A and B are shown apart, each in its own frame.
Chain A
Amino acid sequence: MTVKVLLVDDSRVSRMGLKKAIKGVSQEFEISEAENADVAEAYLQDNTADIALIDFNMPGRNGLELVEAIIGQHPDMKYVLVTANIQTSIQEKAKGLGVEFVGKPVNASQLAEVIGGFCD
């Protein structure tokens, strides 16, 4: 079964690293990318994803604002905030929205824990 992952991050380098790490967990993941919240929201108008890995600090809307905008239309998607902004206040806001939190830099075992369950 193919698992669809949407990466939302303004940094191409960060997306490159995440893609490599995801492929390291399993080759079953089909990865799409968006460089900001607007592009991600537009993508999800016509497509679906099983997991969204979303950066916090991005030009325009931040990652949690994106989640608030799309969670109503995509309640079954798993949301993971992947950010270097590891402040407690951000982690608590994420938790309040039901969003998992992973601090950057991401290590492989952490990522496997968060997304690996989809490959079972």
Chain B
Amino acid sequence: MRRDLAVAGVLVGHEWRLQRRDLVPQLILTVMPLVLMAFLLPTYRSAMAVAGSAPGPGPLSGAEQAVPGLSVMFSMFLVSHVGMVFFRDHGWNTWNRHRATAVPVALLVLSKAVVPLGLLVAQFTVLLTAGRVLFGLEVRGSLGALALVVLAFALCLVALGVLGFAACRTVVQMTSAANVLALVMAGLGGALVPRDLLPGWAAPLAPATPSYWAVRGLQEVISGGAGLTGVAREIGVLAAFAGGFALLALLLLKPEQRKVSWS
């Protein structure tokens, strides 16, 4: 067990050295939602007023929807980057090199997934902080509860990324599926438009997406002033999604399968 933990630490450091050389995609997916927030803030304010959405006391600024919604949406675009970690190793032939060592595949996958998890949390942290500084977002509830919602959703996305790697044979399959999924889930989950404005056919489907629970949890804390107990259900559902995706990934993952990385 101690040896496994030590190896996991080595693998996390190794993966971080690999990823830190090219953080441009993460940077872009952090800047883009900030640009969109600046453009969409008045629109969201009007839309929420029309819909009668009043997530908390005080005047609406639009940031209550723009910041959590767009943060959730753009974090979902990072799902394909989680899968890329493993497709990249196939492209470099280092996946098989790893498999020829004494490191178990499960430990390898978990260790490598730690870095994208950290990057997802960092993306949320930057977006929420920038939302407060630039757009006047006020967090009325507990910061601890906010952190747990973010962590549970990030875990869910990492598990989804590993599932994408396990289920797809080529990187093109995975990135295409991930991008479509990100848009559909963002739309259904109320990340694009306030939940109260979702079309009638979409509203019943919304709870079947993790993005719905993430947006709901974030808004409960930010606008509704909720503490940990107030978002326990959201955190629990997100954790269940994460567990389900991870289990499915475990069932579908064939470590010996040759993946096609660059086409």
Please determine whether chains A and B interact with each other in the same assembly.
no
